[in-house]
Amino acid sequence: MRIDRGFHRENVAICDVDVSSGIAGEIACLECGGDGNWGKFAPEIVGADYPCNDCKGTGRMWVSL
Ligand SMILES: [Zn+2]
């Protein structure tokens, strides 16, 4: 499914969307890749195990349908 991101919806991402909740879709976090760890991008600054800010370390995020 196509996901439109950004303030003006100018960024497009293609990903699998779980629509089992019926009212919203759930996807793997687009910021961290779904593992909830942002520390892999800058371990020397934040440490190797740092929770992703976008998904709060859960690895999942909701999108509107
Ligand atoms: Zn994340």
pLDDT in tens, 8-44: 989 999 999 998 888 899 999 999 999 999 999 999 9
Q: Where do the H-state alpha helices sit in the chain?
A: 43-46
Question: Taken in order 46, 47, 52, 57, is the CA torsion positive or negative?
Answer: negative
CA of 46 to the centre of ligand 1 (A): 15
CA distance 51 to 12: 24
- CA 40 / ligand 1 centre spacing (Å): 12
How far apart are the C-alpha atoms of 34 and 57, rounded to whole Å?
A: 9
H-helix or E-strand containing 3? strand 2-5
**Per-residue pLDDT at 58 exceeds 90:** yes
Contact predicate 4/38, CB 8 Å: no
- pLDDT score at 33: 93
pLDDT of residue 57: 96
The Å distance, Cα 51 to ligand 1 centre, comes to 8
pLDDT at res. 62: 93
pTM of the model: 0.80
What's the number of domains the chain is made of? 1
Return the pLDDT at 26: 94
Domain of 14, in residue numbers: 1-64
Q: 22 C-alpha vs ligand 1 centroid, how far in Å?
A: 22
The per-residue pLDDT for 46 is 94
